[in-house]
Amino acid sequence: MTTYSFDFAYAYGKPVAKAVIRSCPEDFQVEETIRFEPTGEGQHVYLYIKKRNTNTEWVAKQLARFADIKIRDIGYAGLKDRNAVTKQWFSIDLAGKPEPDWQVFNNDEYTIETVTRSTGKLKRTAVKENRFTLVLRELEGDIAELESRLQKIKQEGVPNYFGEQRFGRDGNNLIVADDLFSGRGKLKKHQRGIYLSAVRSYLFNQVLSRRVEAGNWNQAIAGDVMQLAGSHSCFLAEEITDEIQQRIQENDIAPTAPLWGRGELQSVNTVRQFETDVISDFQDWASGLETAGLKQDRRSLCTRLNDFSWDFNENSGLTLSFGLPSGCYATSVLRELVDY
């Protein structure tokens, strides 16, 4: 495979407006919320840091250098955009070491807003929600239709696509993965994960795109695997009852598609056949993921936006505000609204 299509289906049709995003870092703001409150005690210092135009891993390295500890003793719950203003938690294991003066760490690129402590290292699974405030500039097009889409998205959500950043510039992550599967490339263990995840995400997007085309991306089909909102817990829905439909409407559960790997698909009947047929077009990649040791998992097909609001301004701009669960992409919301 040498060319990759990213023309995934739109739930509400192709955008009827266009705009510019990320004119400056302040136009793309993200605030992270984790699933628990730090205890206030323990050997791990927890820092809530506001950063501008810097990526998460780079800030983690600066923290390790400043506190004179190894990078493995730094924890963070999620990777945040570089070209943005973001707030997120970091943990620092200071067992047996004096606590530095954190105010000295601050500069124009990053500032510590909260200092506390807790008992364990911050893990990648700790993110509860990311809150976005996005400013779209130079907006033009069918504004009435755009407003209609905003209302639909508020009510129904958007397809839970992995964002384009997952695949690298011009799909480069997929190209590297293709070389890896064919034996043309070798990578260190921590590097392999990036490229394997890109392939897995691409296969998921393909299944989701076909469900969007069929108009059932946010509806249950007999044989679907349903996922509880805010959880990785799933169950098989061999029959679609009124209760299942009601729970989907209330955003308590959602249908899923596979994150490919070893093992049997959890879905059954026509859903399993549908998923198998889509993946069969990418059999080399599916086999590569299995050989690499990844296990079958599931991901929700749709995501709802929390506290979604918007505001048009007189200078051809639009400000969006919404929360998304961990692992969901703001660009998957934007792509349904505007060409950017």
Taking the C-alpha atoms of residue 56 and residue 64, their distance in angstroms, rounded to an integer, is 13
Alpha-carbon torsion (132, 172, 257, 157), positive or negative: positive
From first to last of the 340 residues of the chain, give the pLDDT tens digit.
456 788 999 999 999 999 999 999 999 999 999 999 999 999 999 999 999 999 999 999 999 999 999 999 999 999 998 999 999 999 999 988 899 999 999 999 999 999 999 999 999 889 999 999 999 999 999 999 999 999 999 999 999 999 998 998 888 999 888 888 887 767 676 678 889 999 999 999 999 999 999 999 999 999 999 999 988 899 999 999 999 999 999 999 999 999 999 999 999 999 999 999 999 999 999 999 999 999 999 999 999 999 999 999 888 899 999 999 999 999 999 999 999 9
Find, among 36, 93, 35, 89, the residue nearest to 69 by Cα. 93
For helices 269-280 and 189-214, what crossing angle results, to 10°? 120
Look-up: residue for tokens 């730090």?
A: 38
Taking the C-alpha atoms of residue 340 and residue 221, their distance in angstroms, rounded to an integer, is 34
Are both 174 and 84 inside the same structural domain?
Answer: no
Are both 100 and 165 inside the same structural domain?
Answer: no
Cα 46 to Cα 37, 88, 117, 142, distances in angstroms:
10, 10, 5, 46
CATH number for the domain harbouring residue 69:
3.30.2350.20
Are both 109 and 166 inside the same structural domain?
Answer: no
Give me the pLDDT at residue 321, please.
98
Give me the pLDDT at residue 3, please.
62
Are both 295 and 169 inside the same structural domain?
Answer: yes
CATH number for the domain harbouring residue 205:
3.30.2340.10
Residues linked to residue 312 through DSSP beta bridges, in sequence order:
318
Are both 103 and 209 inside the same structural domain?
Answer: no
Are both 272 and 168 inside the same structural domain?
Answer: yes
Domain that holds residue 43: 28-128
* Residue 284 maps to a domain: yes
* Residue 311 maps to a domain: no
Are both 124 and 255 inside the same structural domain?
Answer: no
Give me the pLDDT at residue 75, please.
97
Give me the pLDDT at residue 170, please.
85
Residue 297 is among the residues annotated as catalytic for this protein: no
* Residue 317 maps to a domain: no
Give me the pLDDT at residue 2, please.
52
* Residue 248 maps to a domain: yes
Are both 277 and 182 inside the same structural domain?
Answer: yes
Are both 124 and 258 inside the same structural domain?
Answer: no
* Residue 206 maps to a domain: yes
Are both 101 and 193 inside the same structural domain?
Answer: no
Are both 171 and 96 inside the same structural domain?
Answer: no
Number of domains present in the structure of the chain = 2
Find, among 208, 229, 202, the residue nearest to 286 by Cα. 202
Find, among 110, 137, 111, 117, the residue nearest to 53 by Cα. 110
Are both 162 and 286 inside the same structural domain?
Answer: yes
3-state secondary structure of 117: strand
* Residue 249 maps to a domain: yes
Taking the C-alpha atoms of residue 111 and residue 313, their distance in angstroms, rounded to an integer, is 30
Structure tokens at 41: 């005690």
* Residue 256 maps to a domain: yes
Which residue type sits at 3? Answer: T
* Residue 93 maps to a domain: yes
3-state secondary structure of 34: strand
Give me the pLDDT at residue 53, please.
96
Q: Which of 27, 81, 178, 224 is catalytic?
A: 81
